[in-house]
Chains A and B, each alone.
Chain A
Amino acid sequence: MKSFLSWRYYVALFILCAAVGILIGSVGQMTVDNLKCRSKGYDNEHFLAYCRSQMYADYEHGALFYGLEPSVTNNIRRAEVLFVGNSKVQAGFSSKAVRDYFNSINIPFFVLGFGYGDESAFTQALLTKWGISPKVLVINADPFFSEKLSPPGRDAIEGKPAFLWRLLIKSLFQRVHRAVCLVASDVCPESEPSIFRSARDGQWNWIGPYTEEKSVLIDRPAQMTISQEELATAQKLGENFLDQIGLDRRCVVLTGTPNSVLDSTGIATALAASLRTSSIFPAVDGLSTLDTVHLNLASAERWSGQFVRAMDPILEKCISASVPSHDGMAGIATAK
């Protein structure tokens, strides 16, 4: 090992080793600081979208914006049906029913909602960046069309070096975390709530890793709505958003995931009428949420199952694929 170098090689090797050291040090610290994140949700398809830890927190905004997870960008581009919105869309459409339905008709889909309440501003930036043009766009429009950006959404769009560096380290950390917890499970307390996300179809795996299944019955219509001014702003932003997407408005489906707080259905109905889009509001009784806002897993299965079946005519119209006919069309209201 005691070989002598010329100064030129010495400096070059120093710089190379420094770069390696920075990487090792950063991933090492990230691992030590985030060993408490759950590791049981990793597989070849799922990545750690979020962990309730100050050093990790959100990863999905950056990962999807910069295509850091294997083939995630291709999967979004390939998706003929996109679901967009905030965490409510993730809760509502991360279900086996949705996956089984689209698999059965062989149409690729992607659930492209985001946590931290991000809505159209971030989605629009993402769709524009990757030139994504789905054939059908499902929007959880309560009201969705907004100029607001969450901190992780803003960070991802700004793409400052420090953010990009942390993103890279989070990406590498997951490989180390998965391996460490596989080999030495004793050092992984698995205590911090975490959300895993499928790189194939964007669905969240969160009941279990993030929260337990709870049941808060939606037993009366939600009272809260948005003001007329907010609705007018959303309509204006909605026009711009849809113009930019350039999709036939009949292939844009507005909906409102049921909850106990916001009159999502009322808002989406008004927006669908003014934006001249389709809309679907499955009528399902006895739905429950986890927390008054997000549908719980059992309700999401029932509600989203109804929803996708109600999409048959729209898919037939917008996608040239054989879409089987299903029963249960109740609750469809297509705005012309």
Chain B
Amino acid sequence: MLFNSAQFIFFFLPIVLSVFFLLGRLREQMLALMWLVAASLFFYGWDDPYRLLLLILYSIAFNFFIGRMLLANQSRILLTIGICGNLLLLGYFKYAGFLLETFSDVTGFAVQKPNIDLPIGISFFTFTQIAFLVDAFRGEAREYEPFHYTLFVSFFPHLIAGPIYHHKEIMPQFQLQENFRFHISSLGLGLTWFALGLAKKVLFADVLAQYATPIFDAAAAGKPVGLLDGWIAVSGFALQLYYDFSGYSDMAIGLALMIGMRLPLNFNSPYKAQSLIDFWRRWHMTLSRFLRDYLYIPLGGNRKGPRRRYVNLLVTMLLGGLWHGAAWTFVIWGAIHGCGLVVNHAWNKIADAYRLRLPNLLAWALTLVFVMLAWVPFRADSFSAAFTMWKSLLGFHGLAPGETMTATQLATAATCISALLAVALFAPNTQQFLSYPRVIVAALRQPTRFVPSLRWAMAAGVAFGIAVSFIITQRPTEFLYFRF
């Protein structure tokens, strides 16, 4: 089920909230949790109940029992079994086809690619549970009730595409009695977050897709793409991805807030970054945190000298790229960012030594252009499509627009993209608008600092309404990160 669908907004959500708070009011805390579990599983299994529910319940049961055993006995073998079990599941569904195809390309043996549909959200719930197992091994996790654990993994606001949260910041919230009581402030704030996220997705991202998609499709079909079209496509996609995924994350945070829970932030105006290091502190923050804590640091981080640090960075980013999708284009995207981070760290060292400093504007422009160029393989269907697009961006296919858009359409696209880029660069982001805490104190119910005003009620309400009107009249579109 999609957050941006009429059945979610008008049926699923009101029913889930009403029953949850009714049970909370009756002080049936456990029943309320069970209700949330049932609702989350219903939400997850909406499109393909038997296959998806079987998969997630198996994954939850496997990790819960391995986690329990690890808490009792911190055995490295058990941890290895647990991680391998998760990676095998992910590998089978996500990477089997890719590996066989690569094997076939390299060896020349004709191997038939298996037809396996990628279960939605598998990358996210697998990573969430690997983190739990590692923490259980490190003795940093507690023993949890099965229902709490099931809800921790399947909690519907985060299940499909994150934010990838940590058990320490969520589990205590399931036990806070206050969270089971209805708070009008939480509902109001949650609705506002949800409204802004929905508006980002429906009114910004989906509109940008209309400009970026045809040009990328043309490049994939081998058609010439002019310099202007190319930059419209790349900048359009960069913004589309940002508004789509940050919109989804805002909606997830809003939904959790309505239930009285707080999820970690996932974006912090990434296109305002003045370096690539800064960019990764602002983009998909919960994935960066996961990769740092469960990959980069265990690999040695920066503790084993600069060379090893750079290798660790490259490995982390390569695997991070591969996590996004089973294709070499994602590996290339990861490699570009890995190399970029290595250069960024090296530059920082040189700059410190020689007291050099790039002007802020230049640093920002360099970072933005680098990130945009790197989005090309992330978006392109193949290497050749990526190279065609890069060549277009560098002017190899001429300045004249291609056949995909008329001059008027290009002008409209350029105006729309410029306006939405200005919003991404100069406007405060959602957490700044709504005073959301940067750090979640899970054991306490944090007070709402946002002050409700007439202006906000009207702005958020109308934005929500207009976005819903688009959903009603057009088919809702999937979030880009659902495919990862």
Contacts and interface: CB of A to CB of B under 8 A. Distances in A.
A8 B457 CA distance: 11
A26 B472 contact: yes
Contacts of A165: 472
A18 B454 contact: no
B192 to A, nearest CB: 7
Interface in B463-478: 463-470, 472-473
Contacts of A10: 188, 452-453, 456-457
Nearest to A3: B454
A322 interface: no
A25 B474 CA distance: 12
A23 B465 contact: yes
A18 B185 contact: no
Nearest to B454: A3
A2 interface: yes
A21 interface: yes
B467 A25 contact: yes
B192 A14 contact: yes
A13 B469 contact: no
Contact of A4 (B452, B468, B473): B452
Given A7-B185, A11-B184, A14-B188, A21 B465 contact: yes
A75 to B, nearest CB: 31
B462 interface: yes
B468 A7 contact: no
Contacts of A166: 473
A172 to B, nearest CB: 12
Q: Is the interface of A mostly helix, strand, loop or mixed?
A: helix
Contact of A29 (B195, B461, B469): B469
Given A18-B464, A19-B465, A24-B466, A11 B191 contact: yes
B307 interface: no
B188 A25 contact: no
Given A7-B184, A7-B452, A165-B472, A13 B464 contact: no
Contact of A5 (B192, B195, B454, B469): B454
Contacts of B455: 1-2
Contacts of A330: none
Interface residues of B, number: 28
Contacts of A14: 188, 191-192, 195, 457, 460-461, 464
A18 B464 CA distance: 6
A25 B466 contact: yes
Contacts of A25: 465-470
A24 B470 CA distance: 11
A321 interface: no
A162 B6 CA distance: 10
Given A14-B191, A18-B468, A165-B472, A6 B462 contact: no
Given A4-B451, A7-B184, A10-B452, A17 B461 contact: yes
Contact of A18 (B452, B462, B470): B462
A204 B473 CA distance: 28
A226 interface: no
Interface in A1-54: 1-11, 13-26, 28-30
Contacts of A18: 195, 461-462, 464-465, 468
B87 interface: no
B469 A17 contact: no
Contacts of B192: 14
B197 to A, nearest CB: 14
Interface string B432-472: 00000000000000000001111111101111111111101
Given A24-B469, A25-B468, A17 B457 contact: yes
A263 B464 CA distance: 56
A211 B464 CA distance: 41
A275 B452 CA distance: 71
A104 to B, nearest CB: 46
B187 interface: yes
The 8 closest A-B pairs by CB, nearest first: A21-B465, A17-B461, A25-B469, A25-B466, A10-B452, A13-B457, A21-B462, A18-B465
Given A13-B454, A25-B469, 8 more contacts: A14-B191, A17-B464, A17-B465, A18-B195, A21-B461, A25-B468, A26-B473, A55-B473
